[in-house]
Structure 1
Amino acid sequence: MMITFGTQNLRPGTDIVDAKLGKEISFGVGFTPDDASVNATPEAFLWTNLGSDAPHVFRKIAMNPVDPSDDHRYAFTVALPLTMPGTYTATAFVRYGSGEEIWVGKDVNWRVSVPAVDSLYVRQIPIDKVNARLDSDEISTMDDMLDGPESAYTLDKMEQAGVNCLWIQTPYRSDFWGGRPNDTAGSDYASTDWFSIDPELLREADQIDVSDTDRRHTEANRKMKEFVTAAHAREMKVVFGIAPNHVGHNYIFRDFFEDEDVVKRGCYKQIAIDEFQLAEVEKRKKRYAGTELALYAEYIFPWMFATKNASGKYDPNGANDVNETYSPDWAGDCWCDTKHINHGGHAGEKRWHVPREQKQNWKVLDYIGNAMLWATVKLGVDGFRIDHSYGMPVEFFTQTIPWVEKKARALRPGFEGLILFHEEHDPERKRFAANVGDVIQAKWYEAILQGFSHRDVEAIWSVYENPYFTEFSGTGNHDECRGITFFTEFSRAGNHDECKNKNFVQANLREFGNAVITMLFLGGPMTTLAGDEYGESRKLRFKMKGGIPTLWQARTQQLAPENLELDAWVSKAGRLRRERPELGCSERKRLIPHGGPVPIVAFEKRASENRCPLMVFSNINHGDGQSGQFGLGARARAWIESIVATGPDTQLQVKDLFSSTPDRPLWSHPILARNLLRDGIQVALTAYQVQVLDLVRV
C-alpha cells in the first residue's frame, strides 16, 4: 500500500507553504492499495482545523477524485478558500474496503498573514535606552517617547521616518538579579511578571512606593495602553518581544480571567490541573505568609517550572519544589538569570510535541497564551516577536497562538490576526517556523549586508531570489553586531568579528546608507535597531543601563553632520516607501543590464493601476559613478506596449521620486515610448546614488 499527501501551494523547490488571504489552498492525496483485486472504491478526506470554531477542533472534508498524475492508482484533490488570517493544520485519510481509515501520517501547517506584514518597516525600540543619558545609570520612559522635546526619540520621529511598526524590546517587569556581576539592569528576557509592564518605564514610578506592586502594575499598564494607542494614531503597529521559553527568578504570578475581565495576582485556579495542586498552593501560601516569597510562582506553584530527570535531560513532568527548578542553557551558555518553564519543550534536545496526557504542559501553554491574549486585548498590542522560539514545542505554534487569535477576534473589535516574528536559527526548525509565523528573525540579513559591502550584485540577489528567504532584511538585532560594522575595511577583508565602537568616516556612512535605502525599496519586511539610522556602531548593551551613543549625541546636538545626513536620507526613503506602497511590498523583478554586469542593483516594483511600475536603480560601487542600459521588466513592457498600441508616437518622461527635486523631469527631452521598448532604459548614477524612477506620459 502506498499513500502520499501534500499541498500544491508550496514555493517552488521548497516545503514552505505559500498561503495568502483571499486566495485558496489546494491539497492532494495519492493512494495505491496493496490488493488491486479488492472490489471497492476508496474515498479520501481532508482533516483540518481551517474554518473550525477552535484550533483543536478538526473537521472532515470530502476530497474530489481526479485522474492520477503519477504512479498512484487513485488521486483526490480539494481546494479551500483562505478567508481569515491565522495558523492552520491539515492531514488526510483514505477510507477503503471494509471502511478502514488509512491515515497519511503527515501534517501540513501553514500561516495566512495579515496584509500589513508584507510591507512592515520595523524599528526595534528599547524604551529604557532610546532617551537615556549616555553611559549613565539612568533609563528612559514611555513618557519620553510620548511627550519628549523635539530633540527626543519620540513616536513623532518614528512617524517622520516612515516607520510603520515598533518592535518593543520585551517591556514586561524585569527585576534586577545580582547573579551576573557585569549587569547593571535586569535582562529584558528574564521577565518577572507577564501581566505587568515594567514600572521603571513609567516617569512617575519613583512617586509610587516600591512595595506597592499592584499600583505600580496598574499605572505602568495604563501608560503602555496610552503608548500603543498613540502609535496606532500614527498608523504604526506595535509588537512586543516575549520569551515564552523562560521567566526571571522571583516571578510574580498573575493571570487574566477573561470571563471576569480582570487580572488577579496569586490566583492559580486556571493553571492548576487538579484539586491536589490547589490544596498544595494554599499550604505553601501559609508557609510563606508575610514574606516576599509568597508572591513568587516558583515557591507557590513549582509545577509551572521545568525540571530535569536523573540523566540531566528535560523532564516534561515538571518540578515539584523550587529546588528542582533550573536555569536553561543553550550551546553551553547558562542563562542563569532565568528559569525554564514547563511548556513541554527544550531547545537543543529534539523537536518536541506535547502529548494530550501531559496536562501540566498544556496548562502552562494556556497560561502563556493568556498572557499574550491580555496584551493583545487590554493593551492593544498587534503581535509578538518570539524570542528563543526553537525552545518551544510544536503545539505552541499550532494550538496556543491560534487560540489567542481566535479569542482576540471575539474580544477586540476590528482585530484581524497577530503579527508574528519568530527568532529561529536551526535550519530544520526554520523551515517549520516559516509555515507557522509571518517573518523569521535570523542571520540571513548578514549575507545581504555583506553583498552590499563587497559590492556584489549577485550576492544580494542570491538572498532575495532564494525561495527559502522568509526573513527580515535590515541591520540586525539587539544582541548582534550593528549593521554598519559590515562596512569597515576590516570587515570587507573577511574579518567581521569586531562589533566595536569605531569612528566611521563619511564614506562608510554613505555606503551603509546606500544599503539601507536600497533594502527599503527592495521591499518586504525590514527591521532596523534604534540608532542604526545615525550609523550607530556600538552593540546594544541590553542588560546595562544608560543610553545609545548616537541617540544621545543627536539629542544634545553633538552628532556629526554626516550622521545627521544619513538619518535625513534614510528617513526620506522611509517616507517615500510609506507614500508609495508598491515600494514596501515584496513584489519585485530584477532588471538585467545590456552588455554584461554592472555594479547597479536594478529592479521594478509592482505596478499601480494604469501606471508604469516604479523602477529602482542603486549604485553599489560607491566611490565612482556608474551607468548602464537595462532591459525593461515585464510589467513596464506591458504598460508601454499598451500605450504604444493606442498611440504609436506617445512620448514618455521620467522623474526621480527620491531626488531632492522629485517633480522635475530627469531627461532633457521626452523619449518615444516605442524606442524604450526597443532600447531599454539608460541610467547614470553618481557615487552612492539611488534613483526611484517614475515613467509618465507627456
Structure 2
Amino acid sequence: MKEKVFIYQVLPRLFGNNKADNKENGTLEENGVGKFSSFDNKALREIKRMGFTHIWYTGVLEHASKTDYSTLGIPCDNPDVIKGNAGSPYAIRDYYDVSPDLADIVENRMDEFEALLERTHKNGMKAIIDFVPNHVARQYHSDAKPKKVKDFGQDDNMSASFDPDNNFYYIPNQKLEPDFLCGQNSTYEEFPAKVTGNDCFSNRPGVNDWYETVKLNYGVDYLNGGVNCFTPVPDTWLKMRDILLFWAAKGVDGFRCDMAEMVPVEFWNWVIPKIKAKNRNLLFIAEVYNPAQYHDYVHWGLFDYLYDKVDLYDTLRDVICGYRPASDITFCWQRIDGLQTKMLNFLENHDEQRIASDFFAGDPFVALPAMVVAATMNTNPVMIYFGQELGERGMDKEGFSGLDGRTTIFDYWSVDTIRNWRNGGAFGYSELTAEQIKLRKFYTHLIKVAKEEESICSGKFFDLMYANYENPEFDSTKQYAFLRSGKKEFVLVISNFDTNDVNISVQIPVEAFDYMGISPKKIKGAKELLSNRSFALNSEWDKALYMNIKAYSGKIIKFYID
C-alpha cells in the first residue's frame, strides 16, 4: 500500500524556544531562540507518533538578521534592509550555510544540522528544507561556499539593466532609495540599485515590497517583453544546480521551493532531473499560485507536488467562515483537471493566518470538518503547521509581524502552545488545556486513519454532491460527502460545516458502485472510524444512508465487503 505523506512544518527558531516572557521587538538575548538540538529524540518520537512522515524545517538556511555574529566571521547586516530582528527566512544571506541562531555552538552549526538530519532519519522521518531560488538578501555574501565557487553577482556587468550572464538585474545610474527610508538617516548604500525580489523594477521599493531581497536573473529579459535567453545555460542556473546538489549530498530528503513560479519553468525542467539523477527519491514541492500553470510545473517542471492554495485552501477557508457553500469544494478538484494527486493540502502554513485567530475562525474546532476533507479527499500529501494541532491562535504582537493572526517569521518569539506541550512532562499533557488535548488527539487519530486505510491512501475518489443537491435531507451548503474505495473496501466521508447537529441522509447513486466495482449486496457491516464504533446500516442504505452528525464534525464510515 502506498504511504500517504503527512508533513509537519515547523520553524526551529520558534519550536524550541522555552522562554515564556517575550518582549515586543525583542532581541535574541531578550526573547531567546530555539535550536537544532531542541529536536532531540524525544521530540522527534512525539512528532513521528502523531503520524508524520516528513518534517519541513523552515528557516534553516542562513538568512539576513540583526543579530551580530561578526566576531565569529559572519558579516553583519545593515538593519535598514532587514525585516524584524530575526530577519526573514526567505532573505538568504548564504546558500551554503545554516542559520547561526539555531546552533548551540555557532562554529559547529553545520555539524549540528547534519546531526539533526541523522536524528530525523533514525526516528523514521524525512527532512525537507526551503530552497529559495527567486531572490537573496540585499547583502548576500557566502563565507561558507566551497572553493572555486563564486558569489552571486561577483562577475556581473553592473552597467547593464539586463545581461544573460548576470546574476542580478540592475537599475543603472540610480542608487537604491526605499520610499520608507527617504528622509531618514539610513546608512545602507546600494549603487547601482538592484531590482527587488518581488519584481519591483524601481530604485524606490515601498514598505510592502520585498525590499530586503534582490531578484535573481535566470535569463529572462523582463524589460524587453520577457525574452528568454537560455542558451548558453545562464550562470544563475549553474549556481543553483550546485546549491541543490550540495544540500542533497548532506542528506536532505526534499525541497520546498519558495515562489517557484517566479522562476522560469524551463529552469526546473533542466535542474530537477539533474538533482534526482543523484537521488531519485528527493521530493520537490512548488509554491505556486497560478492554476493556469499547474500542468507546466508538474508535467514540464517535474515537481512532485504543488501548493493547493488558491483552490482548496481558499475554498475551505471560505466554507469554514460561512462565506461559500460546502458544494464549492467539488469545483476545486474539477478545476485542476486531474492534478489532485499532485496537490499539497493544508489549512495553515507560515504565510496564512491561524485558524483559531480572530482573523479566521476564532476557534480551531470549527475547522475540523475541513481538516477531514483535506486529509482524506485524495492520495496526495497533507501538511500541518506546528501548533495547529494545539489550536495556536497567532494573536501575539511580536514586533515586525504585528497583531495579524499569524505566527511571526521575522521576530524572536516563543509559541505558547508548543512551549506548553514541550514542557508538559516528557511531551505530556500536564500544561495543556483539556481543549488542546482533545484537539491534538483528534489530529493524531485522523492522521492515523488516513494513513492506515487503503481506500484513502491509494483508492479511487467519487464525489457524491451531484446526487444530493435535490436531497431534502442533505444541505449541500453545509455538508460535503464523497467516497473512497480500495480493492475490498470503501469508505464514505461526510463533513458537516453546520453550527448545529443534524440528521441527514446521503444518497449514493448506482454509478458510484459501478465505478468502484463494488456490489452493495456484498456489504456485511460498517464502522465509523473517527469514533471507532460500529455503524448500523438502515434498510436500503445503498440508496439513502441515514445518520446524525455533530456540528463542526465529520464521519469516515468504512464498509466491509464479504
Q: Which of the residues 376, 379, 383 maps onto 1:527?
A: 383
**Aligned-partner Cα distance in 2 for 1:447–1:348:** 36
Change (3 A) 1:517 1:245: same
The structure carrying a bigger strand percent of its residues is: 1
- Structure 1 position 542, deviation (Å): 0.7
Contact 2:13 2:33 in 1 (8 A): yes
- Which amino acid counterpart does residue 344 of structure 2 have in structure 1? F
Q: Partners in 1 of 2:518 and 2:266 — Cα distance?
A: 52
1:137 to 19, 31, 38: 31
Letter paired with 2:85:
T
Letter in 2 for 1:372: L
Contact 2:82/2:212 (<8 A) preserved: no
Amino acid at match of 1:245: N
2:482 paired residue among 603, 606, 617: 603
Written as runs of structure 1 = structure 2, the 5 A alignment for 1:452-491 is 452-454=320-322, 456-468=325-337, 471-485=343-357
Q: Which has the higher contact order (CA 8 A, sep 6+)?
A: 2
Show the counterpart of 2:231.
Answer: 356
Note if contact 2:389-2:439 (Cα within 8 Å) is conserved in structure 1.
yes
Moved more, 334-343 or 526-535: 334-343
The C-alpha deviation readout for 1:484-535, integer Å capped at 9, x for no partner, is: 45xx6xxxxxxxxx47xx9x4xxx3321123213321223232222111122
Identify if the C-alpha distance between structure 1 residues 388 and 509 changes in structure 2 by more than 3 Å, giving closer, same or farther: closer
After the TM superposition, which residues 262-661 of structure 1 pair with which residues of structure 2 at under 5 Å, given as runs? 264-265=146-147, 267-268=148-149, 297=151, 302-303=154-155, 309=160, 314-318=162-166, 323-324=191-192, 326-330=194-198, 333-345=208-220, 353-357=228-232, 361=234, 363-378=235-250, 380-406=251-277, 408=278, 415-426=279-290, 428-435=292-299, 436=301, 437-441=303-307, 442-444=309-311, 445-454=313-322, 456-468=325-337, 471-485=343-357, 498=359, 504=362, 508-523=363-378, 524-538=380-394, 539-556=406-423, 558-585=431-458, 587-591=460-464, 592-593=467-468, 595-596=471-472, 597-598=474-475, 599-607=478-486, 609=487, 611-631=488-508, 634=511, 636=513, 642=519, 644=521, 652-659=524-531
* Number of residue pairs the alignment of both structures matches: 480
The SS at the match of 2:56 is strand
Classify the secondary structure of the residue corresponding to 1:695. strand
The answer to whether 1:188 aligns with 2:188 is no
Task: Sort the Cα spacing of 1:417 and 1:346 in 2 relative to 1 into closer, same or farther, 3 A.
Answer: farther
Assess if the C-alpha contact under 8 Å between 1:655 and 1:694 holds in 2. yes
Report the 3-state secondary structure (helix = DSSP H, G, I; strand = E; otherwise coil) of the residue aligned with 1:173.
strand
Q: Which amino acid aligns with 2:482?
A: F
Residue pair 2:64, 2:82 contacting (<8 A) in 1 also: no
Residue 123 of structure 1 deviates from its aligned partner by: 1.9
- Which of these residues, 204, 222, 229, is aligned with residue 111 of structure 2? 222
Q: Secondary structure at the match of 1:613?
A: strand
Q: Partner of 2:186 in structure 1?
A: none
CA, structure 1 residues 354+183, in 2 after alignment: closer, same or farther (shift >3 Å)? same
Q: Tell me, yes or no, if the aligned pair for 2:157 and 2:163 is still in contact at 8 Å.
A: yes
In terms of Rg, which structure is larger?
A: 1
Is there any run of 5+ residues in structure 2 with no aligned partner, and where? 23-29, 66-76, 171-189, 395-405, 424-429
Give the alignment partner of residue 5 of structure 2, picking from 109, 112, 120. 120
Cα displacement string for residues 603-629 of structure 1 (whole angstroms, at most 9, x for unaligned residues)? 11131x3x2212222222132223213
- Write the distance in 2 (CA, Å) between the matches of 1:633 and 1:138: 60
Q: Distance in 2 between matches of 1:348 and 1:529?
A: 39
Deviation at 1:666, TM superposition (A): 2.3
For the residue of structure 2 that corresponds to 1:510, the secondary structure is helix
1:399: how far off? 0.7
SS at match of 2:7: strand
Per the alignment, residue 202 of structure 1 pairs with 103
> Distance in 1 between the 2:9 and 2:223 partners?
27
Q: Which amino acid aligns with 2:417?
A: T
> Could you list the per-position Cα deviations for residues 347-382 of structure 1 after superposition, in whole angstroms to 9, with x for gaps in the alignment?
89865633314x6x2x3211211111121122x222
**Contact 1:452–1:460 (CA under 8 A) maintained in structure 2:** no
Structure 1: which amino acid aligns with 2:334? E
Contact preservation (8 Å) 1:307, 1:316: no
Whether the 8 Å CA contact 2:513–2:519 is kept in 1: the answer is no
Go from structure 1 to structure 2 and tell me whether the alpha carbon gap of 1:426 and 1:600 turns closer, same or farther (over 3 Å shift): closer
8 Å CA contact 1:307–1:325 kept in 2: the answer is no
Structure 1: segments with no counterpart, 5+ residues: 1-114, 149-153, 206-215, 256-263, 272-296, 409-414, 489-497, 645-649
3-state SS of the aligned residue for 2:418? helix
The residue number in structure 2 matching 1:232 is: 121
Whole-angstrom CA distance in 1 between matches of 2:284 and 2:434: 37
**RMSD of aligned Cα (Å):** 3.3
| Distance of aligned partners of 1:425 and 1:624 in 2 relative to their CA distance in 1, 3 Å threshold | same
Q: How far apart, in 2, do the equivalents of 1:346 and 1:481 lie? A: 35
> Aligned-pair distance for 1:242?
1.5
Q: Say whether the 8 Å CA contact 1:632–1:680 is kept in structure 2.
A: no
The code of the aligned residue for 2:445 comes to K
2: CA distance, partners of 1:307 / 1:476: 41
State percent identity of aligned pairs: 16
Map Cα deviations across residues 626-667 of structure 1 (whole Å, 9 max, x no partner). Answer: 3213215756567786584xxxxx6622111211xx2x4322
Which residue of 2 is the match for residue 171 of structure 1?
60
Q: For the structure 1 residues 587 and 465, does the alpha-carbon distance in structure 2 shift closer, same or farther, using more than 3 Å as the test?
A: farther
Letter in 2 for 1:615: L
Residues 533-573 of structure 1, C-alpha deviations (whole Å, 9 max, x = no match): 12223212111111223222434555432233112101210
Residue in 1 that maps onto 2:549: 685
Q: Deviations over 1:316-343 (max 9, x none)?
A: 3427998446252426644333333343
Distance 2:158 2:64 in 1: 23
Deviates more, 1:552-561 or 1:572-581: 552-561
Classify 1:633/1:581 alpha carbon distance in 2 versus 1 (closer, same or farther; 3 Å). Answer: farther
Query: For 1:443, what is the secondary structure of its paired residue?
Result: helix
Q: 1:242 aligns with which of 125, 128, 131?
A: 131
Look up the SS of the partner of 1:188 in the other structure.
coil
Instruction: Rate the CA distance shift 1:434–1:235 in 2: closer, same or farther, 3 A.
Output: same
Residues 178-227 of structure 1 deviation map (CA, whole Å, 9 limit, x = unaligned): 1247611132112222222223222333xxxxxxxxxx3xx333333332
Counterpart for residue 42 of structure 1: none
